[in-house]
Amino acid sequence: MRSHYIWAVLVITAVTASAQVPAVTLTKPVTPNKQPSVGGFIQRWMLLEPIGVTGLTDSAVQASVKKEHFPQQFTILPHDGDKVTAGSAQLTWHAVDTKNYNVNLFHFARQLGKPTSDVLFWAVTIVNCPQEMKDVRLAIGSNAASVWWVNGKEVIGIYGDRQTVIDDGVSKRLTLNKGANIVRAAIVNGGGATDFCARFLDAADKPLKGFTVTLAEPAK
């Protein structure tokens, strides 16, 4: 009798674990623009539902992110609710704000009933600068591997099965343009938890401030 009880508990636990769970640290944006956090972290992103991939080595990740999964994947500026077709799957873009310094992709995917292991997440945001900002560096962390682009140029990548560490990868010095700057990332997870964080560092390697983040390119 006890064995039947234990079996029932295990079944209920498994069903509960696979159910959709609210991503309490992620919310829908309610303002046009958002300031970076006190620590300079970008907290507003457009996220695409996960795409199935495998491998966390440099070559495997590069092959995964360079493969064309959907049209214009390196140039698209999606809107909340836009859909793309990747293979046989129709995927949706979601606008999110995070309450933390990092974006919890595990919660994001689980909330939607999507897989969290052996997957690729695309993330896009727009950093609006009041003037040109020189000698800044993009500083990122991710669980697990990730590749990052600023204004269409690949600037940093980190690989392997790793935990998210603030400023784990830092780009070479670059210039942010006056106006809109497109930041794009591909995060690849093998299994377990998955998240990422990103901020810019100024010429003195302090968190960059004085910009806003949005998900729509300003009218020209």
- Domains of the chain are 2-214 (2.60.120)
Confidence of residue 218 (pLDDT cuts 50, 70, 90): low
Per-residue pLDDT tens over the stretch 183-212: 999 999 999 999 999 999 999 999 999 999
pLDDT above 70: residue 70: yes
- pTM for the complete prediction? 0.89
Number of residues written out for the chain: 220
Taking the C-alpha atoms of residue 20 and residue 34, their distance in angstroms, rounded to an integer, is: 28
Give me the pLDDT at residue 111, please.
95
Give me the pLDDT at residue 108, please.
97
Per-residue pLDDT tens over the stretch 130-170: 999 999 999 999 999 999 999 999 999 999 999 999 999 99
